[in-house]
Amino acid sequence: MTKVLIPSGALGLGYDADALARGIALGPDLIAIDGGSTDSGPSYLGRGVSKYARASTKLEWQGLILARAKAGCPLVIGTAGTCGSDCMVDWLVEITREILEEQGLSANIATLKSEQPVSRITDALAADTISALPAAPEINADIVNDCTHIVALAGIEQITAALQTGADIIIAGRTTDTAIIAALPIMNGINPGPAWHGAKIGECGALCATNPQSGVITVDFDNDGFTITPLAEGAHATPHTVSAHMLYENTDPFILYEPGGHLDVTDAQYTALDDTRVRVTGSIWNPSDTYSVKLEGARVAGYQSIILVLIRDARYVENVQEWCDDIIAKHREKTCARLALGPGDFTVELRIIGQNATLGDLEVQETALTEVGVLGIVTAANQETAATIAKLLNPYLLHHPLTLLEEQPTFAFPFSPAEIDRGAIYEFVLNHVMVLDDPMDAFILTVLP
């Protein structure tokens, strides 16, 4: 048996402190929490920063460090600081040391770093050990060279190595969400099928139960299956909530690819033990012939300035598309003339909020509107150019008339200045896997002094 306590789906989302205390009283073998994902977009990996405030991260991490001291088991976090870059591992180590000092605690810390030097990836490309996953973009050495951060997703092998150091606190860079949970049961000899499946169900905390925001659950692993127990007052796991979690953020609800193989839950059985706990059996792990890890990388796609205007005049609301099309044409011409730019050197988009800003061409509804917002998005090769192009857009959005003979109209800017510089914009460029001879080849495990 191996009992893993999962406080929430991500550090920074909050957890129920009473439920955590209840979990500690149950004597877990491990406390595991995820620190990030790609879900908030490429900027976090591109810049190597955390999505969550340092203050939230520190407060929640402190709660877990204190819980760990009480439980006397290891605490592991995967994908530290949202993106799992090396600098985010260092950031969380710094926060950890602050907490330990302030609380008068001591703990052994190990780090697992997942960031990839560009040369390793370009060498692997040349050696043909990188392959594309479905819907991957085209890549080449130049694109890889442009990446500001590239990480590889660690699996159970690297987390197991970290656990075997005997560290109290393991701070890992990018890992799969599941590996930090599945590693210990598999290390303890439990079948990998239930271990990976229980990890997948548990990785978002109480999202697999009712009252999903309460966070805290335990997963009890044994050789034939696993049991999910949500720990917050009034939270229940049912066969429906647990099995439905396989749908979440998965393209295929039955198959999950991980480093070293894939999980198949087609024949899994979900049984209610009572009105709170669910037991799952029948999950199968299929090892692969080669060992590969997934890569994530981001590079700068340009620099942006944005501008928002609100339109309340009924005639302009009704004719807003025509108004925008006219502005785009006139502004493009002026920008090329005044800045000596070609039309391919920048992009300007006017998204009509209230009409189709969310779905663009896919929108099928047409509703009469009271007002619309027009969001201007300028992208160029550097911030100065983007800001200048947005400045050229400003007078059009403020005063552009539908017809030449009418009195000059004025529209509502909510801000002064109306333009907002967004800085560098990043894009994800990798959806690939890299074959490794040894799972540790692309990762660095360090026990901190």
Number of residues in the chain: 449
Q: Site size for other proteins, by CB under 8 A?
A: 43
How wide is the angle at C-alpha 68 spanned by C-alphas 66 and 71, nearest 5°?
A: 115
Name the token pair of 76. 């592991």
Q: How far is the CB of 386 from other proteins (least distance, A)?
A: 11
The yes or no reply on residue 210 touching other proteins (CB under 8 A) is no
Q: How far is the CB of 243 from other proteins (least distance, A)?
A: 6
104 burial level (CB within 10 Å; 0-12, 13-18, 19+) = exposed
Task: Report which secondary-structure segment, H or E, holds 175.
Answer: none
**Interface of this chain with other proteins, residues 379 to 418, rule: CB under 8 A:** 379
Sign of CA dihedral 58, 61, 67, 73: negative
CA dist 226 and 243 (Å) reads 13
Per CB under 8 A, which region of 19-27, 35-43, 311-319, 336-344 contacts other proteins?
35-43
Say if residue 343 is preceded by a cis peptide, omega within 30 of 0.
no
The yes or no reply on residue 134 touching other proteins (CB under 8 A) is yes
Of 25 and 420, CB closest to other proteins = 420
The yes or no reply on residue 364 touching other proteins (CB under 8 A) is yes
Q: Rule CB under 8 A: choose which of 21, 125, 136, 336 binds other proteins.
A: 136
List, in sequence order, every residue forming a beta bridge with 377; answer none if it has no partner: 306, 349
CA dist 150 and 251 (Å) reads 23
Per CB under 8 A, which region of 76-84, 115-123, 298-306, 326-334 contacts other proteins?
298-306
- φ, ψ at 142 (rounded to 5°): -65, -45
List, in sequence order, every residue forming a beta bridge with 341; answer none if it has no partner: none
The yes or no reply on residue 137 touching other proteins (CB under 8 A) is yes
Q: Pattern 38-77, binding to other proteins, x per CB under 8 A?
A: xxxxxx----------------------------------
Nearby residues of 441 by Cβ (< 8 Å), 6 or more positions away:
none
The yes or no reply on residue 361 touching other proteins (CB under 8 A) is yes
Q: How far is the CB of 445 from other proteins (least distance, A)?
A: 26
Q: How many CA atoms lie within 13 A of 91 on its CB side?
A: 23
User: Which residue, 255, 295, 296, is CA-closest to 436?
Assistant: 295
User: Which residue, 197, 186, 238, is CA-closest to 29?
Assistant: 186
Q: Pattern 313-352, binding to other proteins, x per CB under 8 A?
A: ----------------------------------x---x-
List, in sequence order, every residue forming a beta bridge with 270; answer none if it has no partner: 280
Per CB under 8 A, which region of 3-11, 91-99, 144-152, 360-368 contacts other proteins?
360-368
Q: How far is the CB of 420 from other proteins (least distance, A)?
A: 16
The yes or no reply on residue 428 touching other proteins (CB under 8 A) is yes
What single letter denotes the amino acid at residue 252?
D
Of 134 and 189, CB closest to other proteins = 134
Q: Rule CB under 8 A: choose which of 310, 357, 392, 440 binds other proteins.
A: 357
Q: How far is the CB of 359 from other proteins (least distance, A)?
A: 6
CA dist 109 and 97 (Å) reads 9
Q: How far is the CB of 39 from other proteins (least distance, A)?
A: 6
Yes or no: say if 149 and 48 are a contact pair by the CB < 8 Å rule: yes
Yes or no: say if 372 and 355 are a contact pair by the CB < 8 Å rule: yes
**Interface of this chain with other proteins, residues 233 to 262, rule: CB under 8 A:** 240, 243-244, 247-254
Of 244 and 284, CB closest to other proteins = 244
Q: Rule CB under 8 A: choose which of 105, 431, 435, 440 binds other proteins.
A: 431
Please give the residue ranges that form the binding site for other proteins (CB under 8 A).
38-43, 133-137, 240, 243-244, 247-254, 301-302, 304, 347, 351, 357-365, 377, 379, 425-428, 431
